[in-house]
Amino acid sequence: RQVRSFIEQHGESRFTPKQTGYSSQVRQRAGWIDTSGPQTLYLFYPTGWREATEGLSPDRAAKALMAAGYLVPDGNRPQRKVSLPDNTRPRMYCVKGSILDD
């Protein structure tokens, strides 16, 4: 619930659309939003993830979202490498946009 609330509250202001590239206008970027595939993904930097899970254990929150099918893991690791428009490949928490539907 807490991650969903964070996305609902900060979606457009804290996530840069991956397809449009880097934007310096996003202050305190939590991550990126990827709409290129069959489902929308919210890509959290580790710092954004800690903020979204404030008051909880970030690792436990990731495991709970993996178990619920909302987090796209890299095998059994909660973070996966993502290619970004700035040519970096950081490890990010990838949350399915379907989390907003439930």
Which of 47, 59, 60, 62 lies closest to 94, judged by CA?
Answer: 62
Q: State the residue range of the domain holding 75.
A: 2-100
Q: Which residues contact 2 (CB under 8 A, 6 or more apart)?
A: 52, 53, 54, 55, 56, 61
pLDDT (0 to 100) of residue 21: 65
Divide the 102 residues of the chain into consecutive groups of 10 and give the mean pLDDT of each group. 94 84 71 92 97 96 97 95 92 97 83
Q: Total structural domains in the chain?
A: 1
pLDDT (0 to 100) of residue 47: 96
DSSP state of 70: -
83/53 Cα distance (integer angstroms):
24
pLDDT (0 to 100) of residue 24: 60
